[in-house]
Amino acid sequence: AGQQVAMPPPERQLLLRLQRLLGVAGTAILLVAAAVVLASYAGPLLQVLHARAQEWKTTYPIGVAVAGLLVVCFWIVCLIPSTPIELTLGYLYGIGGGLFCVYIGKVLGCLLSFLLGRTLLRDFCQQLVKRHELLQAIDLAVQDEPYRISFLARGAYIPIALKNYGFSVLSVPPRAFVTALVTVEVWNSASLVFLGHAAESVGDVMQTGSSGSGARVATLVVACAALLGLSAYGSVATRRALAKLRRQRDPADAVSLHAFQEKLVQ
């Protein structure tokens, strides 16, 4: 007879859960603290960067490009909007160089966020999903149509943190996440780079990003259309998955319901 592996005692299981919870809480606190500190210094820091950006870019073109790329990546992981840096890179390096820096930085930041969610938050969120039928239905809907939902969510007008950390705790295949990421972020990155490139000076970058220019309006229209599509399709897919869950839990009710429907047809 094979040797059975003894289950850990309840105290050991509780200790493991506490360790996971403390790890998740500690990571969340560090990310929030970093976001608060960076946000408090963001205004003065951006003013200094705007004043010195052209000078630094002329003296250290590669260094400034790499630094900007890493800042975009880091800010996405820390839940800080990276729009000011993306606009500035578009102004400094034009469409080609700016798009390269912004796109690579955003892809790296999104991948790191997804990886953090899969490694640190996965177990905790899976337990949460198991307790709520609606969350199970959403997770099942994502399993059934991972590519369609991933593409709609990536293009929708929702915070990028939900696209990264939110999808990391759902049953989204990494291939679907990466495919949507590397495809749709070309458009998302290009729209901001075009706006930054159109600015007449570094000081006008933020005003350009907040103005109602044609590129900005087109980006918002596409993002809102994707959001509406995601809402409509997600609602239908979730209801379908919810019905599927209930049929799996109580097949007798599903059979009786099917027989009743056949009688109505006859």
Name the residue ranges covered by the structural domains of the chain: 14-265
Q: Helices in 60-169 by DSSP H: which ranges?
A: 61-77, 83-116, 122-131, 133-144, 146-155, 160-161, 167-168
What is residue 213's predicted lDDT score, i.e. its pLDDT?
A: 54
The mean predicted confidence, pLDDT, of the chain is 72
CB neighbour class for 244 (10 Å; exposed up to 12, middle 13-18, buried from 19): middle
Q: Is residue 37 scored above 80 in pLDDT? A: no
Who wins on pLDDT, 219 or 167? Answer: 167
What pLDDT sits at residue 72? 93
Confidence of residue 76 (pLDDT cuts 50, 70, 90): very high
pLDDT of residue 10: 61
- What was the pLDDT predicted at 157? 75
Point out the least confidently predicted range of 91-95, 118-122, 245-249: 245-249
The pTM assigned to this predicted structure is 0.64
List pLDDT tens digits, range 2-30: 454 454 566 566 666 666 666 666 666 66
Q: How many CA atoms lie within 13 A of 238 on its CB side?
A: 13
Distance CA(163)–CA(115), nearest Å, equals: 13
pLDDT at 144 over 70: yes
| pLDDT tens for each residue of 178-235 | 999 999 999 888 888 888 777 655 555 545 444 445 555 565 566 566 656 666 666 6
CA distances from 193 to 90, 115, 186 (A): 4, 26, 10
Q: How far apart are CA 21 and CA 24, in angstroms?
A: 5
